[in-house]
Each structure stands twice: as structure tokens, then as C-alpha cells.
């Protein structure tokens, strides 16, 4: 962009100062809206009637809003949201933005390459999947600016929950929705809602179930550690294995049925669970709702809409797994009256069982924007990307003798390619446990899963493009070193 055009546009927009930074060039109007960008970065200092400076630093097309302070002081934030410095508007107007920054601000890097290195922690290449212990996923960088903006303003959380809930419900296909602390938080709040309904007295007496229904039905095959969120209400779990048992167990004391929508390894189940539609039908005749644990039902997004269409009254969804929202976020979607009851049982209501499950405005905004983006992804292209990454690893390992490799079966509800690697431990002189340890202790660190029988398996749908080359190289090094030894 020519300097004359720059000056004209700056004058037209009443921008006080334009300063060049390192790479990319973006012109913003007085409301911070994107007008044009080139190959260099530009920082634009703007002013309102209160004479308060505001700066936006924009790397490429992705806007990074910077915080605004009163009394003529502006906080300057780096491209990754890191605080760089505070300065006055007068100092900024004296010269370019770069002259106002400290020398190391241009790189905006930390000693040894990052915040984790500063703490003495080495990051991990994730070949396990959406495991919370590893951080589950990498949040979409596009939502960082909006989350940061939401943190700079006070709002009524009930209003924010209501507005975002409307958007989420529309995406999922339910009457209502709310943001929770992960899928487990959604399961707990959904259970509380089924117990108390809209009665504040019952909300305040939980986990004392006097005067409430006290039983939750779960199919035996659906039992898992995460149903602890159901048990946190103090209910008694009634296990069933067949439709006849379900109908016999359903009664006036049944508060809810918990249904596991999908899980890793469900392909190995020896017995098929009672279908969701049958559970919903029994529940409606007996007068209790069905809550579906959909934490492991993504991708694709359509799976959630199918659950809603099947009539499930509540759906618990993880926002921090494959959806790539804030790791601590989740969604509870479903019937309007039950969502209202769940909100009563939740923060910010002080005298409630769900008060510790506090979601901030940042998470509410973040998971909403993540859902908006995620629901529109091309899942067929993503599946091909994961498949190609797995194929690269399998081709590389064909050159290593003594290995048996292939694909694990798909889950019942979603197509996630997983590669297994097995070997004769005595012949190779390498145990499964030692292999897992060497990969995790190596450079770079790689986290894999241990196969139930023997060997390891890798899930690549949380790995970045290009990670498969690093993983293949490290696997070959580990196995070839064991053979040489």
C-alpha cells in the first residue's frame, strides 16, 4: 500500500498514529474492523472522545485486540496475548510503535523458547487422542482474541449464559443449552436438574435426597469412571442389561437414565446395548428423562444432532476435546425446563451443589465460538488427513523387521483411525512398558497408548500435520536401537 494512500485512509478514519511492526500489514477503522491487509504487520493507535488510546496488533488477518487503560495509559500485548509493556499515548505519538517497545518485544519470545521451557517442562506430541491428562486438544487460535476481549468487560453471567445457550441450542438442535465445566460438569448438573426440577428448596438441600427420586438407571455395559458425576448427587445406581430389565427397573423412584453415547474400544463390546430410541421410549412412558454422555461422540458434529433428534432430553458434550474450545469447557443441551433447572443448580447460585462448577465469561464465549467453527468443518477432509498421517507411519515401519502393524477397528459412533504396533518382546528385547517410556522420555516427547494384549497404538487426530514424520522417525529409532542392543 502506497504511503499516500495510507495517509489518506488514516486521515479519513481519524486515526492518530500508524506505526509499522514486523510482518503483515492491516488497516483497521475506528471500531477495530478489518479493512485491508498486506504482507507486513501494522499497529494502529486510535483515540476516542475520552482521549484514551487503543492499539490493535494484527498478525496477518487474525486480529489481536490489545487492552485499553484509562488515564492515557495503553497496555501493549504481543501476538500471542502476552503482556509486553504499558506506555502513554504521548510516547506512542512521538514515534513509531516499535521505538516505544523494549528491545526483546519484537521477538516476544521467552527464554529457552516458551512458557513450558521456562517452567522446566517439555511439551509432548499427542498420539493418545483427546486425553485430559495431556490437555485434550489445542484450542482454536482464532478464538483467543474474543476470549481476551470478554475478560475485559463485566457482564451479567445469567444474560451471557442465556444468549450463548440460544446459539448453542440452535447448532445442536435442542430447545436450550448452557455452558458447563466440561462434559463431567454437564453430567453432574444434568443429574441435579432431574432430581430437583425448578424447586429452589430441593436445590439447596442436595445431596440430601429426602422428598426426591433417588435412583438412576445405567446399562451395565455403560458403566464407567465418569458416571461418578451422576453418583455425586447421592443417587443409587440401578444396573440393567436388557430391555425387559429396563422396563422392570423403571418406576416412580427413577430420576433419570444415563446413556453412554460412545467410547474408545466399544467395538469390542460382546453385547449390544439397548438402543437409545428404546431407552427414550421407556423413559417417556415411565416419566423420567434420558441423559446422553456425548463426550466421545465427536467428530462429526452431526452425531450430536442425531442424538437430539432421537429424543434425548439432555446431552452432555465436551467443549475441550475434538471441538477445540477451552479445555475446561463443556455444554449441557436439551429440554428447556431441565436446562433452567440445571442453571439453578449451578454457579453463580451460592447455595447449590453445582456452585463449584464455575464457568467464566471467557469459557462461555470460547466454547460458543469453537462450536460455531467446529460445526461447519469439512469432516471428510479431516478424516482423510488423519488417515494419511497413519498411512505415513505404517509405510515407515514396514522397513523395520519384526513388527506387526495395522489399524484398530473403528468405534461404533465415529471413524477415528488408530494404528497398532506389536512385536515379540523377547526377540526384540523391548517390553511394551519400556517402549512407552522411551518414547515419552525421548526428544521430542511422544505420548502413545499401551495395547491391552501387547504393543502400542497411536491416535493421530489430535496431532498436528507433520507430526507423523517425527513420530515415525522416533519409532524407528526406538525399535532399531532395541534390535542392535
Average pLDDT for residues 28-43, to the nearest whole number? 38
pLDDT, greater one: 452 or 42: 452
Average pLDDT for residues 200-214, to the nearest whole number? 97
Are 200 and 82 part of one and the same domain? no
The CA distance from 85 to 22, in Å, is 17
The CA distance from 304 to 295, in Å, is 10
pLDDT tens, position by position, 131-143: 999 999 999 999 9
Question: How much is the pLDDT for 478?
Answer: 97
Residue 367 has pLDDT above 60, yes or no: yes
In a domain, residue 123? The reply is no
**Whole-number percent of the chain with pLDDT over 90:** 73
Are 346 and 298 part of one and the same domain? yes
Q: pTM above 0.85? A: no
Question: How much is the pLDDT for 241?
Answer: 97
**Whole-number percent of the chain with pLDDT over 70:** 77
Q: What confidence category does residue 345 fall into, taking pLDDT thresholds of 50, 70 and 90? A: very high
Are 304 and 389 part of one and the same domain? no
Are 364 and 403 part of one and the same domain? no
Total domains present in the chain: 3
CATH code, 454:
3.90.1150.180
CA 17 to chain centre: 38
Q: What confidence category does residue 198 fall into, taking pLDDT thresholds of 50, 70 and 90? A: very high
Question: How much is the pLDDT for 297?
Answer: 97
Residue 476 has pLDDT above 50, yes or no: yes
Domain boundary among 54, 89, 104: 104
In a domain, residue 448? The reply is yes
Are 341 and 215 part of one and the same domain? yes
pLDDT, greater one: 477 or 61: 477
Question: How much is the pLDDT for 32?
Answer: 43
Question: How much is the pLDDT for 98?
Answer: 35
**Residue matched to cell numbers 506389536:** 422
In a domain, residue 113? The reply is no
Are 359 and 424 part of one and the same domain? no
Question: How much is the pLDDT for 207?
Answer: 95
pLDDT tens, position by position, 54-68: 333 333 333 333 333
Q: What confidence category does residue 267 fall into, taking pLDDT thresholds of 50, 70 and 90? A: confident
* Cβ contacts of 245 within 8 Å, gap of 6 or more: none
Are 15 and 151 part of one and the same domain? no
Residue 46 has pLDDT above 50, yes or no: no
pLDDT, greater one: 424 or 33: 424
Are 336 and 465 part of one and the same domain? no
Q: Which of 38-52, 76-90, 117-131, 218-232 has the lowest mean pLDDT?
A: 38-52
Question: How much is the pLDDT for 268?
Answer: 84
Query: Is residue 463 a contact partner of residue 469, using CB atoms and an 8 Å limit?
Result: no
CATH code, 178:
3.40.640.10
Domain boundary among 374, 398, 416: 374
Question: How much is the pLDDT for 94?
Answer: 43
Residue 328 has pLDDT above 80, yes or no: yes
Average pLDDT for residues 164-178, to the nearest whole number? 98
Residue 323 has pLDDT above 80, yes or no: yes
pLDDT tens, position by position, 93-116: 444 333 333 333 333 444 445 899
In a domain, residue 127? The reply is no
Average pLDDT for residues 29-48, to the nearest whole number? 37
Are 347 and 426 part of one and the same domain? no
pLDDT tens, position by position, 373-429: 999 999 999 999 999 999 999 999 998 999 999 999 999 999 999 999 999 999 999
In a domain, residue 125? The reply is no
Question: How much is the pLDDT for 202?
Answer: 97
Question: How much is the pLDDT for 254?
Answer: 98
Sign of CA dihedral 113, 114, 118, 122: negative
In a domain, residue 298? The reply is yes
Angle, nearest 10°, between helix axes 157-172 and 361-374? 20
Q: What confidence category does residue 461 fall into, taking pLDDT thresholds of 50, 70 and 90? A: very high
In a domain, residue 201? The reply is yes
Question: How much is the pLDDT for 264?
Answer: 85
The CA distance from 50 to 300, in Å, is 48
Are 284 and 411 part of one and the same domain? no
Q: What confidence category does residue 485 fall into, taking pLDDT thresholds of 50, 70 and 90? A: confident
In a domain, residue 433? The reply is yes
Query: Which among 222, 357, 225 is positioned nearest to 290, based on CA atoms?
Result: 222
Q: What range does the domain containing 399 cover?
A: 379-484
Residue 79 has pLDDT above 80, yes or no: no
**Residue matched to cell numbers 423413559:** 283
Are 163 and 54 part of one and the same domain? no
The CA-based diameter of the chain, rounded to the nearest angstrom, is 81
Domain boundary among 334, 356, 374: 374
Question: How much is the pLDDT for 39?
Answer: 34
Are 359 and 418 part of one and the same domain? no
Mean pLDDT estimate for the chain: 83
Residue 285 has pLDDT above 60, yes or no: yes
Amino acid at each position: 500500500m502506497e504511503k499516500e494512500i495510507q495517509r489518506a485512509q488514516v486521515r479519513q478514519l481519524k486515526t492518530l498514529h500508524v506505526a509499522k511492526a514486523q510482518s503483515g500489514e492491516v488497516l483497521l477503522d475506528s471500531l477495530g474492523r478489518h479493512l485491508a491487509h498486506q504482507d507486513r504487520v501494522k499497529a494502529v493507535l486510535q483515540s476516542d472522545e475520552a482521549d484514551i488510546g487503543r492499539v490493535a496488533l494484527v498478525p496477518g488477518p487474525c486480529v489481536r485486540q490489545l487492552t485499553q487503560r484509562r488515564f492515557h495509559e495503553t497496555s501493549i500485548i504481543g501476538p500471542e496475548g502476552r503482556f509486553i509493556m504499558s506506555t502513554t499515548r504521548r510516547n506512542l505519538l512521538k514515534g513509531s510503535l516499535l521505538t516505544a517497545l523494549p528491545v526483546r518485544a519484537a521477538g516476544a519470545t521467552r527464554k529457552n523458547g516458551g512458557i513450558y521451557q521456562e517452567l522446566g517442562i517439555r511439551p509432548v506430541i499427542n498420539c493418545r487422542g483427546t486425553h485430559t491428562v495431556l490437555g485434550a486438544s489445542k484450542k482454536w487460535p482464532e478464538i483467543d482474541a474474543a476470549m481476551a476481549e470478554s475478560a475485559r468487560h463485566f457482564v451479567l453471567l445469567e444474560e451471557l449464559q442465556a444468549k450463548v445457550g440460544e446459539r448453542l441450542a440452535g447448532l445442536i438442535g435442542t430447545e436450550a443449552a448452557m455452558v458447563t465445566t466440561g462434559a463431567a460438569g454437564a453430567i453432574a448438573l444434568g443429574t441435579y436438574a432431574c432430581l430437583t426440577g425448578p424447586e429452589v428448596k430441593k436445590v439447596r438441600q442436595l445431596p440430601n435426597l429426602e422428598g426426591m427420586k433417588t435412583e438412576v438407571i445405567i446399562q451395565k455395559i455403560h458403566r464407567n469412571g465418569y458416571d461418578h458425576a451422576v453418583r455425586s448427587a447421592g443417587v443409587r445406581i440401578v444396573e440393567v442389561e436388557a430391555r425387559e430389565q429396563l422396563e422392570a427397573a423403571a418406576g416412580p423412584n427413577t430420576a433419570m437414565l444415563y446413556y453412554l453415547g460412545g467410547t474408545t474400544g466399544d467395538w469390542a463390546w460382546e453385547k449390544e446395548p439397548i438402543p437409545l430410541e428404546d431407552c427414550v421410549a421407556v423413559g417417556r412412558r415411565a416419566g423420567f428423562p434420558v441423559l446422553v454422555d456425548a463426550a466421545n461422540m465427536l467428530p462429526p458434529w452431526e452425531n450430536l444432532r442425531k442424538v437430539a433428534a432421537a429424543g434425548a432430553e439432555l446431552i452432555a458434550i465436551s467443549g475441550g476435546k475434538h471441538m477445540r474450545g477451552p479445555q475446561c469447557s463443556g455444554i449441557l443441551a436439551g429440554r428447556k425446563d431441565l436446562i433452567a433447572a440445571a442453571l439453578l443448580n449451578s454457579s453463580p447460585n451460592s447455595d447449590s451443589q453445582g456452585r463449584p462448577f464455575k464457568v467464566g465469561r471467557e469459557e462461555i464465549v470460547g466454547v460458543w465460538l469453537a462450536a460455531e467453527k467446529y460445526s461447519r468443518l469439512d469432516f471428510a477432509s479431516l478424516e482423510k488427513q488423519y488417515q494419511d498421517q497413519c498411512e505415513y507411519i505404517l509405510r515407515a515401519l514396514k522397513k523395520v523387521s519384526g513388527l506387526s502393524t495395522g489399524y484398530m477397528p473403528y468405534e461404533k459412533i465415529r471413524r477415528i483411525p488408530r494404528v497398532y504396533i506389536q512385536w515379540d518382546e523377547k526377540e526384540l528385547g523391548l517390553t511394551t512398558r519400556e517402549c512407552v517410556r522411551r518414547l515419552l522420555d525421548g526428544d521430542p516427547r511422544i505420548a502413545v497408548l499401551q495395547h491391552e494384549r501387547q504393543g502400542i497404538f497411536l491416535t493421530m487426530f489430535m496431532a498436528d500435520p507433520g507430526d507423523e514424520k517425527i513420530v515415525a522417525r522416533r519409532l524407528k529409532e526406538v525399535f532399531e536401537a532395541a534390535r542392535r542392543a
